[in-house]
Amino acid sequence: MKKILIIQTAFIGDVILATPLIEKLYDKFPDSKIDFILRKGNEKLFTNHPKLNKVFVWNKKQNKYKNLIKILKQIRSNRYDYVINLQRFATSGFLTFLSKGKIKIGFDKNPFSFSYNIKTKHIIGNGTHETERNLSLIDSITDNTKYLPRLYPEPSNLKKIKKYTTQKYICIAPASVWFTKQYPKHKWIELINALQEYTIYLIGAPSDNDLCNEIISKSTHKNISNLSTELSFLDSAALMKTAEMNYVNDSAPLHIASAVNANVTAVYCSTIPNFGFGPLSDNSLIVEVSTKLTCRPCGLHGKKECPKGHFNCAEKIQLNQLIKFL
């Protein structure tokens, strides 16, 4: 029996895009115990996950380094056969370096990559999807077969969202952490007003509540609800799975859609699909400005405001680009 540890303590979308490793390692080493380290707040993605043995939760917001050392002590005691670090930051490299893992695996850009037994080049911007980048870490201990992200909503999640699925509906996740990744509020309202034949559910994190309420207050749609404070990650995944369409930014809900093979239309503003974070569902569509902008992309992760002041990468997207797919 092999003991395997995966480290991904970044944000929600990053954790979801790490799930192909769980799937592949479980298939290749069916008797193994697979553990996962993530940041506090993301653990509900893996509630009763059927292929994970243990999830370590690192609280980064309070006593960050004290909690880091506490987790380090736990993982050292497990003597993992493989420690696989998906991140390029020093703290995850530090954990890997001192993990006492027999085989340490990670990307070459991590400051602690000198301690890795297996290290892989990290190249972004050539069209390679993030899931493929992540899976490349374990090619040498498995093979080069591609795997998709996967989440596992439970019966309790399906039961919770059942009341919302009695008629044709569309989910919209209007928010993003970054301003330049977020399709503008007035443009979401324009889309919603054009979808009168569907029930509309606005989804997201509790922090998106005010934005969702404002969109509803300014929309003329008669059948729209704000579920941003009602649903867990897995509730949202279950709801998105059977939606007629899910409209999302280049953000976590896009990857939730991929992980349950839900219909999805991904709106790209300042970022571009070529970075490798695009949708992977069978019915996945990308919408972006149709004219070439010399300022796009303006960054890998988005910015707090448009550097040029015009935000044309979002404003120049036309309504018919979004609704023609329904």
Is position 147 within any domain? no
pLDDT of residue 1: 87
What lies within 8 Å, CB to CB, of 243 at 6+ separation is 169, 170, 171, 201, 262, 263
In this structure, what CATH number is given to the domain that contains residue 173?
3.40.50.2000
- Tokens 């993605």 belong to which residue? 45
pLDDT of residue 306: 94
Q: Of 141, 167, 201, which closes a domain?
A: 141
pLDDT of residue 301: 86
Q: CA-CA distances (angstroms) from residue 140 to 92, 105, 137? A: 21, 10, 8
CA distance 324 to 132: 30
Q: For residues 128 and 73, state if they share a domain.
A: yes
Is position 251 within any domain? yes
Is position 217 within any domain? yes
pLDDT of residue 140: 96
Q: For residues 25 and 115, state if they share a domain.
A: yes
Q: For residues 130 and 14, state if they share a domain.
A: yes
**By residue range, what is the domain housing residue 203?**
157-323
Is position 187 within any domain? yes
Q: For residues 133 and 162, state if they share a domain.
A: no
pLDDT of residue 302: 87
Give me the average pLDDT of each 10-residue run along the chain (326 residues): 96 97 97 97 96 96 91 95 96 95 97 96 91 97 96 97 97 95 97 97 96 97 96 98 97 97 97 95 96 92 92 96 82
Q: How many domains does the chain have?
A: 2
Q: Enter the pTM of the model.
A: 0.95
pLDDT of residue 155: 97
Q: For residues 116 and 175, state if they share a domain.
A: no
